[in-house]
Amino acid sequence: MRDNALLNQQQHDTELLNLLPKAMKDDPTAEKLASFLDKISYKKIPTSSFSRMWLLGSLHTKVTAGYLAYWLKSRFADEDKKNRLKNEAHLAAALQLFGTMGYLRGAVLKVGQALANLPELLPDQFAEILDSLHFEAPAMHYSMIREVFLDEFGAEPEQLFAKFERKAFAAASLGQVHRATLHTGEEVAVKIQYPNIAQTIQADVRSLRLLLQTLRFSDQWASLHAKLEDIEQVLLQEADYLREANFYQQAAEMFSNPDEKIIVPKVFIEFTRQRVLTTEYLQGVHLQEFLAQEPTQAQRDAFCHLLNISSLRPYYQRKWCIADPHAGNFIFMPDGCLGLIDFGCIRVLNDEEWRLNCELEQAVIEDDEAKFEQILAKASYFDSPADMSAEHLALLKKFSLWAFAPWKAKGALNFGEKDFYLNGMDCFIELMRKGYTQGDPVYLWSNRFILGYRVMAYRLRGSAVLSTIFQQERPFRYPH
Amino acid sequence: MRISQQAKQENRNKILTVAKELFITKGFEDTTTRDVAQATGMATGTLFNYFPSKETLAMHIVRKALQQGYEDYKNRKTGEENLSEELYLFIFSGLRKLQPYHSFLGPVFERSLSPFPRKTLCVEGEATKKNQLHAVSRIIHSHGFDMSENTMISIMYWSVYLGILAFWVNDESPKQQESHAFIDYALHFFVHAISGTEPQLRNE
């Protein structure tokens, strides 16, 4: 058993090293960093549930820590040796702190592309990692669930429901999901939040802000600071299940026509509180299981079509940026319907952000290059495109054109085409590697929105005719 | 003048009701035995016939609440709990009954349950400790472990429990949510220490 564990550990080490950026492996100081990372990764604390919270236990978490280290280190690359060493000492302390943060690792994972670089990853690995970028709250046993219910409803689960399964059937961001049956007979999914998560998020973001203090004199500090504020806000909103229930209800209004085959489960508001969310249970499977059934191309295309509608309608009708689209949030139902089961991480664009996005979209559609460049510069906190380096501007344009490619595609666009997918991912990764991350915090979420859906559609290997979807979903037309 | 058992019990109950109210409104430190006696309408000396000190009086309230919590725990227990889960249920059932007194229990616990050497022991505090350890010993025994009096496990449990009480009385988070997470941690730690087993995880 022990040998197996050791073997697994070694495999993990190798995988981790393979995943780490090459530059980090070649750089002698990075070796020190890697060994430090290694040391804190295996700091042993007695129980497994502890390890989930306190150790850099999973491969993905280790990779993220690695990227965080790499990203922080790259900020110091141009400094002299003395300063670099000083900064590396800060970095070691930062990583130590990072290793002890209960939930922040999840937060960093969630916004991985903004706070930690993801360079040198193969697109498939990127897809896999992006898919697992969510908060991992520790498991709750049933006695704890009962206490949450007593706090929230003043009643035990058995009193509220005709049947309540003691074991969770799925992990959720910030908690876990149990199946239950209402006294009226409906099958429901009950999402329960781990106690005190909102306060923990606040404490962790405070710690992160502190550990990033070493960057306070850098030119990106203001942008980073604004992003942290935004991240904290969105994560805290995600911890409010009453807010999520409201998003569910709005989404249900948007997708009320059953012929459209997009299903938003009904919320049972009388069984919902700030930390408990009860929704209709949807029969079906997640993406991986759906793909394992070897679906036909027609089935893949049909779901790809639904996936696009499910993202674009909330965007155009309610200015929603669904900021955490991953496989766990979609149900592929047996009757060909697509179930949408998570509305926790939604960033609603404000008027200014919306106006800028619309202008950008219009500039792309109308091939107005000057306007396009001007808006990109503004979004990246530059006065004009002339203030940006040629490389920065070129990369940003390339990525934005890729993001908007479906808007301009004629006929069906094959999202499963590797070249198309690679084109965008490479470009995004390059932007991150070069440190071209300065910009309005909203792009943290819109990037996740775009990348998340692209990853899903790529894995689905589906095609969709976007022009029809835009015609149907976009409530306005641009003058041409 | 001799008074009947019934009258004695009535006086006792009256003192307890008044004391709870005063402790909650004025705080434990700022309430004197004289305040309690006055509000009850009896002489301070008479009050001492019922409760020899303010600490004993407060700890009596605590002991009774924990007893009710123990009854709740027995009713709520399903028999499917693992050790840490059952201890969690036991401890929280007690804390729920203590909840109405949360605001004044800090100094009460400090004076009556402190594990450090003290000139005088609080009788009610000692009785509370004995009851708690007895109940926990039964729980632990039912899971195949032994926790006899004054063994290392018993000392460890009591230390963990005092830590939990200290955390809980200081917990100002809404509905003492921080305590939920802390107690879960503390109990996993304790159970692992005594059993050497790892609790089952959600995804395993």
Note the pLDDT tens digit of each residue in B46-78.
999 999 999 999 999 999 999 999 999 999 999
d(CA A219, CA A225): 11
Q: What's the Cα-to-Cα distance from A311 to each of A254, A330, A363, B68, B121, rounded to whole Å? A: 11, 12, 21, 53, 67
Instruction: Please give the Cα distance from B25 to B201 (Å, whole number).
Output: 44
Cβ neighbours of A140 in B, within 8 Å? 184
Shortest CA gap B201–chain A (Å):
7
- How far is residue A281 from each of residues A49, A185, A246, measured CA to CA in Å? 28, 12, 18
For the residues of A327-387, what is the DSSP string, one character each?
A: GGGEEE-TTS-EEE---SSEEE--HHHHHHHHHHHHHHHTT-HHHHHHHHHHHTT-SSGGG
CB within 8 Å: B201 and A139: yes
Cα atoms in the Cβ-side hemisphere of radius 13 Å centred on B58: 28
pLDDT over 50 at B202, yes or no: no
Q: Which of A395-404, A432-441, A471-480, B173-182: highest mean pLDDT?
A: A395-404
Judge contact between B112 and B59, C-beta under 8 A. Answer: yes
Structure tokens at A175: 């908690």
Residue numbers in A near B80 (CB within 8 A): 142, 166
B43 interface with A at CB cutoff 8 Å: no
Q: Can you give the pLDDT at residue A426?
A: 80
Helix and strand counts by DSSP (H, E) for chain A: 23, 12
Q: Is A322 left (phi over 0), alpha (psi -120 to 50) or beta?
A: beta
Question: Which residue from A147, A150, A171 is facing B202, i.e. has the nearest CB?
Answer: A171
Kindly report the nearest CA distance between residue B177 and chain A, in angstroms: 5
Contacts of A166 in chain B (CB under 8 A): 80
B201 to A48: CB separation less than 8 angstroms, yes or no: yes
The mean pLDDT value for B8-22 works out to 94
- Calpha distance B159→B120 (Å, rounded): 20
CA distances (Å), A67 to each of A72, A222, A346, A397, B79, in order? 8, 21, 25, 25, 46
How is residue A180 annotated by DSSP? E
For the ranges A5-9, A10-14, A392-396, the one whose mean pLDDT is highest: A392-396
Position A202 scores a pLDDT of 74
Question: Over 60: is that where the pLDDT of A99 sits?
Answer: no
CA distance B121 to chain A (A): 34
pLDDT in tens, A304-332: 999 999 999 999 999 999 887 878 889 99
Q: Which residue has the higher pLDDT, A333 or A52?
A: A333
* Chain A residues touching B175 at Cβ < 8 A: 151
Q: Are A143 and B92 in contact (CB < 8 Å)?
A: yes
Distance CA B155, CA B129 (A): 11
Cross-chain residue pair A142–B177, CB shorter than 8 Å: no
Query: Which pLDDT score, from 0 to 100, does residue A428 have?
Result: 80
* The model's pTM: 0.78
Q: Comparing B17 with A89, which gets the higher pLDDT? A: B17
Backbone φ and ψ of B175, nearest 5°? 55, 30
What is d(CA A126, CA A454) in angstroms, rounded to the nearest whole number?
12
Which string of b and e fits A46-72 if b means at least 16 CB within 10 Å? Answer: ebbbbbbbbbbbbbbbbbbbbbbbbbb
Q: In what order do the strands lie in the sheet with A262-263?
A: A262-263, A338-340, A330-332
Specify whether the CB–CB gap between A313 and A254 falls below 8 A: yes
Query: Is residue A121's pLDDT more than 70?
Result: no
Helix count and strand count (H, E) for chain B: 9, 0
ipTM of the complex: 0.85
Judge whether A20 and A66 are in contact, CB under 8 Å.
yes
- Give φ, ψ of B71 to 5 degrees: -65, -45
Q: From A53, which residue of chain B is nearest by alpha-carbon distance?
A: B185
B118: phi > 0 → left, psi -120 to 50 → alpha, else beta; which? Answer: beta
Contact (CB<8Å) A195/B181: yes
Count how many Cα atoms sit within 13 Å of the Cα of residue A185 in the half-sphere of its side chain. 0
Q: Is A474 left (phi over 0), alpha (psi -120 to 50) or beta?
A: beta
Contacts of A171 in chain B (CB under 8 A): 202-203
- Inter-chain touch A168–B199, beta carbons under 8 Å: no
Kindly state the average pLDDT of the residues A195-202. 76
pLDDT tens-digit profile of A227-261? Answer: 777 777 877 888 899 999 999 999 999 999 999 99
Would the pLDDT of A298 be above 90? yes
Closest residue in B to A176 (Cα–Cα): B202
Report the C-alpha gap between B124 and B56 in whole angstroms: 6
Residues of A with CB under 8 A from a CB of B: 46-50, 52, 138-144, 146-148, 150-151, 156, 166-168, 171, 176, 194-196, 199-200
Chain B residue with CA closest to A47: the answer is: B198
For residues A148-162, average pLDDT: 96
User: Does the distance separating the beta carbons of B202 and A168 come in below 8 Å?
Assistant: yes
Q: How far is CA A406 from CA A124, A367, A455, A466, B16, in A?
A: 21, 14, 14, 6, 74
Side chain identity at A271, as an amino acid letter?
A: F
CB spacing of A194 vs B76 below 8 angstroms: no
Lowest mean pLDDT across A35-39, A190-194, A396-400, B53-57: A35-39
Q: How far is the C-alpha of A215 from the C-alpha of A228, rounded, in Å?
A: 13
Q: Which residues in chain A are closer than 8 Å to B194, comparing Cβ atoms?
A: none
Find chain A residues with C-beta within 8 A of B193's C-beta. Answer: 46
Q: Are A433 and A118 in contact (CB under 8 A)?
A: no
Position B100 pLDDT exceeds 90: yes
User: Mean pLDDT highest for which of A69-83, A190-204, A262-276, A311-325?
Assistant: A262-276
Nearest Cα of chain A lies from the Cα of B137 at a distance, in angstroms, of 19
pLDDT for position B177: 87
| Residue where the block lists tokens 């094959």 | A414
CA B191 to chain A, closest CA, distance in angstroms equals 10
CA distances from A362 to A207, A358, A375, A396 (A): 41, 6, 11, 17
Confidence label for A134 from pLDDT (cuts 50, 70 and 90): very low
Interchain pair A199, B177: CB under 8 A: yes
Instruction: Transcribe A310-335 into DSSP letters.
Output: HHHHHHHHH-EEE----GGGEEE-TT
CA dihedral (A230, A233, A236, A241) positive or negative: negative
Q: How many angstroms separate the most distant Cα atoms in chain B? A: 70
**Which of B81, B192, B202 is facing A176, going by the closest CB pair?**
B202
Confidence tier at A140 by pLDDT (50, 70, 90): confident
Please report the residues numbered 178 through 197 in chain B whose beta carbons come closer than 8 angstroms to any beta carbon of chain A: 178, 180-181, 184-185, 188-189, 192-193
Tally C-beta pairs within 8 A across A and B: 75
Among B143, B78, B65, B156, residue whose Cα is nearest residue B105 = B65
Structure tokens at A11: 């495999």
Give the distance, in angstroms, between the CA of residue A267 and the centroid of all CA atoms in the same chain: 24
CA A327 distance to own-chain centroid:
11
Chain A residues with CB under 8 Å of B168 CB are none
CA distance B87 to chain A (A): 9
Q: Which of B184, B195, B203, B204 to mutate to test the interface with A (most CBs of A within 10 A)?
A: B184
CB-based contact A69:A37 (threshold 8 Å): yes
Write the single-letter amino acid at B20.
K
As a whole number, mean pLDDT of residues B76-82 equals 94
Identity of the residue numbered B191: V
pLDDT at A371 over 70: yes
Q: A428 and A448 in contact (C-beta within 8 Å)?
A: no
Residues from chain B that touch A50, judged by Cβ atoms under 8 A, are 185, 188-189
CB-based burial label for A299 (10 Å; 0-12, 13-18, 19+):
middle
Q: How confident is the model over A90-111, as a mean pLDDT? A: 47
CA distance B146 to B170: 32
User: Which range has the top average pLDDT, A65-74, A169-178, A278-287?
Assistant: A278-287
Question: Can you give the pLDDT at residue A451?
Answer: 83
Q: Contacts of residue A144 in chain B, CB cutoff 8 Å?
A: 85, 88, 180, 184
Per-residue pLDDT at A158 exceeds 70: yes
Q: Taking CB atoms and an 8 Å cutoff, what residues of chain A touch B195?
A: none
> Computed from CA positions of residues B186, B188, B189, B190, in that sequence, does the dihedral angle turn out positive or negative?
positive
Residue B199 to residue A408: CA distance in whole angstroms: 54
Q: Which of B 89-118 lie inside 8 A of A, CB atoms?
A: 89, 92, 96
Predicted pLDDT at A208: 63
- Report chain A's mean pLDDT, rounded to a whole number: 76
Lowest-pLDDT choice from A25-34, A303-312, A422-431: A25-34
* Confidence label for B203 from pLDDT (cuts 50, 70 and 90): very low
* Chain A interface mutation, best of B91, B175, B189, B200, highest count of A Cβ atoms under 10 Å: B175
Q: Which amino acid makes up residue A17?
A: L
* Residue A270 confidence (pLDDT) above 50: yes
H or E, element range at A192: strand A187-193
Cα–Cα distance measured from residue A23 to residue A452, given in angstroms and rounded to the nearest whole number: 27
